[in-house]
Amino acid sequence: MKKCVLVAEDEKHLATLIKFTLEQNGYFVAAASNGKEALSCCENKRPHLIISDIKMPIMDGIEFKRRLLDSESLAGIPFIFLTARAQNIDVVEGLNLGVNKYITKPFEPNQLLAAVKTALGESCSSGLE
């Protein structure tokens, strides 16, 4: 069974790139364009992993992650921030929220794929040459 990755990203071209990268490597991808949509997706079908931007409309990625932490059933989902917010204070805030990885944009698809595999406890040796 394919593992489900939820991608919360409001920039359509980036969401498409992330989805393509993950699907080409055997993952099922669900998409949301803001934290509120992403939270609803998590409540309806628990994903194996979440990749989220921070700066999104309606509910940002920080608030989305906090709400997940408040939910007993959703708090343990592996989580990656993929964001343009690259200042040290932003990275520290993300890490203090317990994210598995904090990746800044622009990013390399193989870097993201390696982070996904690591967060899911999978081997990173294939497809990264």
| 3-class state of residue 39 by DSSP | helix
Helices (H) and strands (E) in the chain, counts: 5, 5
Closest C-alpha to 75, from 121, 39, 102:
39
Query: Do residues 27 and 7 lie in contact, with contact meaning Cβ atoms separated by under 8 Å?
Result: no
pLDDT per residue as tens, the chain (129 positions)? 789 999 999 999 999 999 999 999 999 999 999 999 999 999 998 999 999 999 999 999 999 999 999 999 999 999 999 999 999 999 999 999 999 999 999 999 999 999 999 999 987 654 444
Question: Can you give the three-state secondary structure of 51-79, one letter per residue?
Answer: EECCCCCCCCHHHHHHHHHHCCCCCCCCE
Query: Do residues 62 and 54 lie in contact, with contact meaning Cβ atoms separated by under 8 Å?
Result: yes
The residues that bridge with 4 in the sheet, in sequence order, are: 28
> Domains of the chain, with CATH numbers?
4-119 (3.40.50.2300)
